[in-house]
Amino acid sequence: EAQVTQNPRYLITVTGKKLTVTCSQNMNHEYMSWYRQDPGLGLRQIYYSMNVEVTDKGDVPEGYKVSRKEKRNFPLILESPSPNQTSLYFCASSCQGSYEQYFGPGTRLTVT
Amino acid sequence: AQSVTQPDIHITVSEGASLELRCNYSYGATPYLFWYVQSPGQGLQLLLKYFSGDTLVQGIKGFEAEFKRSQSSFNLRKPSVHWSDAAEYFCAVVPWGQNFVFGPGTRLSVLP
């Protein structure tokens, strides 16, 4: 089954404790992206990747890192999480140029 | 400022009634246009998209949307709403040379 998976689905952590949210897709998509969803703001793009070893900042990259060492994986790293990063995070992927993004189920992160 | 707006934060309709969700954008050139649906606890699913051509596009689940260049709008419609349509709906655009920009979303409630 074609899908985008994210782990963990729920995470509660404390300020400053490094964490990684994993994202994996099995559709051989070139393009992958991370979004955060906050009430009244819709989805805002954090980082995206056009292919392996090619990443770029989205609209709200501060406080986040990403890497793309393999085509299927695109982890999101919070080196020193802060409470303002409490949000719902979505990973998405698509074929290059198709613009039809497939979304993962989301990761709800709470930073206390 | 360039943006995507969805004027209605929350809409309630009765089951069987018609539905129209509004979306307006402010970009110089017509961007690619999308509607996504997010069911409770789920990721986003693409309902339909418009790139060019016929301004009335058909999507999944009985939805359609009409692009009106003069109004910079891309409104989503459904002639008869089902209880399972209760969800949050996001309009999204891809301006030329840029990445996805999502609207703030409209939450749809359906009365039995």
pLDDT at position B29 is 82
For strands B64-68 and B56-58, give the pairing. antiparallel
Cβ distance B49 to A100 less than 8 Å, yes or no, reads yes
- For chain B, the residues whose C-beta falls within 8 A of a C-beta of chain A are 4, 9, 32, 34, 36, 41-46, 49, 51, 90, 92, 94, 99-100, 102-105
Q: What is the pLDDT of residue B77?
A: 98
What is the H or E stretch that residue B109 is in?
strand B106-111
CA distance A64 to chain B (A): 18
pLDDT tens, position by position, A27-58 = 999 999 999 999 888 899 999 999 999 999 99
* Gap from B96 CA to chain A (nearest CA, Å): 12
Residues 6+ apart with CB under 8 A from A102: A2, A3, A4, A25, A27, A29, A92, A93, A94
Quick one: closest CA in A to B97, which residue? A97
- What is the structure's pLDDT at B96? 79
Mean pLDDT by 10 residues, chain B (112 residues): 89 97 90 93 91 94 96 97 96 86 94 93
pLDDT at position B1: 65
Give the whole-angstrom CA distance, residue A35 versus residue A47: 7
Quick one: average pLDDT of A11-38?
Answer: 96
DSSP state letter for A97: T
